[in-house]
């Protein structure tokens, strides 16, 4: 269970949109969402769309990359870097 509110929100979104029926504790901070194929390109774009709407941020094309989106902590770090 993560204490980070951003991670928590993103995790809920991913579970609801892409992993319905999966156990929430199976999605951890270490789960490699992009490199293990859980988030393909289309799912990644939907995630980006969600993050931009949810946090009123703008994500650049080069940030659609495992470096920024592969794990929950990395996604949260990206969002925080945009929020300032």
Residues that bind another protein (CB under 8 A): 17-19, 21-23, 26-27, 31-32, 35-38, 40-43, 45-46, 49, 60-62, 64-67
Closest approach of another protein to the CB of residue 40, in Å = 6
Rounded alpha-carbon distances, angstroms, from residue 82 to 2, 37, 48, 58, 75: 21, 26, 13, 8, 11
Rounded alpha-carbon distances, angstroms, from residue 40 to 10, 27, 34, 60: 16, 16, 6, 18
- For another protein, the closer of residues 18 and 55 by Cβ is 18
- For another protein, the closer of residues 60 and 83 by Cβ is 60
Closest approach of another protein to the CB of residue 43, in Å = 8
Per the listing, tokens 């709407």 go with: 53
């Amino acid at each position: 269970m993560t204490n980070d509110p951003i991670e928590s929100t993103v995790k809920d979104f991913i579970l609801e949109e892409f992993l319905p029926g999966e156990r929430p504790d199976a999605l951890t901070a270490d789960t490699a969402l992009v490199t293990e194929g859980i988030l393909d390109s289309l799912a990644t774009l939907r995630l980006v769309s969600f993050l931009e709407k949810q946090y009123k941020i703008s994500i650049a094309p080069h940030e659609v990359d495992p470096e920024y989106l592969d794990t929950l902590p990395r996604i949260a770090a990206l969002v925080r870097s945009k929020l300032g």
